[in-house]
Amino acid sequence: MKSYNTLNDYYRNLFGEKTFKVPIDAGFDCPNRDGTVAHGGCTFCTVSGSGDAIVAPDAPIREQFYKEIDFMHRKWPDVRKYLVYFQNFTNTHEKLEVIRERYEQAINEPGVVGINIGTRPDCLPDETIEYLAELSERMHVTVELGLQTTYEETSELINRAHSYELYVETVKRLRKYPKIEIVAHLINGLPGETHDMMVENVRRCVTDNDIQGIKLHLLHLMTNTRMQRDYHEGRLQLMCQDDYVKVICDQLEIIPKHIVIHRITGDAPRDMLIGPMWSLNKWEVLNSIEAEMRQRGSVQGCKAVKQEFMNEKTT
């Protein structure tokens, strides 16, 4: 048993067996790239919009789906249930008719039991949320909100171009539809953020808001990103593994037990990664986190405070 509420266990309990997330590049853009709210994108983001590992990003959506599951079946040949993961860029940053047309190309394929949508708090108008609510009556729907930080000064540094307050308001609007699950994304190691700030990011994100899951990422410094200049000019210090493990364990201790941990580290293509290079040893990082939790005698939520709202799973 892991010391935290893993995504693999959650999906096994929910769907009765191991279930794949199938990443798709549906051709969406991002509002802080195309001038809607800013230009240039987040300073940490690559030209592919955080979907560098997708097998065939330029193929039609349905073809991408089958290429991805063929690739995954090499390791897990018996898996037959899938969640379509619209990953790259901002997957609700379009007119509703365009969103609907692109989603429907994949979610009606055999074995699809749900959809995960990577997006931002500033790209979820009411009509889009209502469509997602309709989908949640047909299948499992998860909205993954890129928050990254709760600190406005950090948000400005990384060109995030939306506020923490907007995230809070968007979570409230989504939770009007209880079958839509919300997963928040946070990045550890952003410029200027201390250990205590990273822990506070998690406290604000999960204690003050009705969400069902969280992704905790290590900041990966990638080639051809705007943040690369900050690093070479000495304005960015990359985390060491020991510091990362400690902050993750401190974060896990304050996350309520019912919240699903979708990720506690991340993947990056070796040929694009500038650092930290230790992050390439993913299983070593995961094992180090588990060892630290056991050494502390800790489990997820052992230091969590009671939330003001009821956060019950509705299926």
Q: List the domain boundaries for the chain.
A: 7-296
Helix (H) or strand (E) holding 262: strand 260-263
Q: Express each pLDDT in 238-277 by its tens digit.
A: 999 999 999 999 999 999 999 999 999 988 888 889 999 9
Label residue 312 by pLDDT band (50, 70, 90).
very low
Average pLDDT over residues 206-219: 95
Residue that has been written with the tokens 């896990």 in this structure: 252
pLDDT at residue 210 tops 50 = yes
Judge if the upstream peptide bond of residue 31 is cis by omega within 30 degrees of 0: no
Helix (H) or strand (E) holding 112: strand 112-119
pLDDT at residue 288 tops 80 = yes
Nearest CA to 26 out of 65, 83, 53 is that of: 65
123: Cβ–Cβ under 8 A, 6 or more apart, which residues? 31, 90, 92, 93
**Burial class for 300, CB neighbours closer than 10 Å (0-12, 13-18, 19+):** buried
Label residue 41 by pLDDT band (50, 70, 90).
confident
Q: Express each pLDDT in 160-205 by its tens digit.
A: 889 999 999 999 999 999 999 999 999 999 999 999 999 999 999 9
Tokens (6 digits) for 261: 């941990």
Alpha carbon separation from 161 to 36, 100, 158, 202, 288 (Å, rounded): 10, 26, 8, 20, 34
Q: Which amino acid is at 241?
A: Q
Longest CA pairwise span in the chain (Å):
52
CATH number belonging to the domain at 7-296, selected among 1.20.120, 3.30.70, 3.30.1490, 3.20.20: 3.20.20
- What is the Cα 229 distance to its own chain's centre? 25
Q: Which amino acid is at 162?
A: H
Helix (H) or strand (E) holding 130: helix 126-136
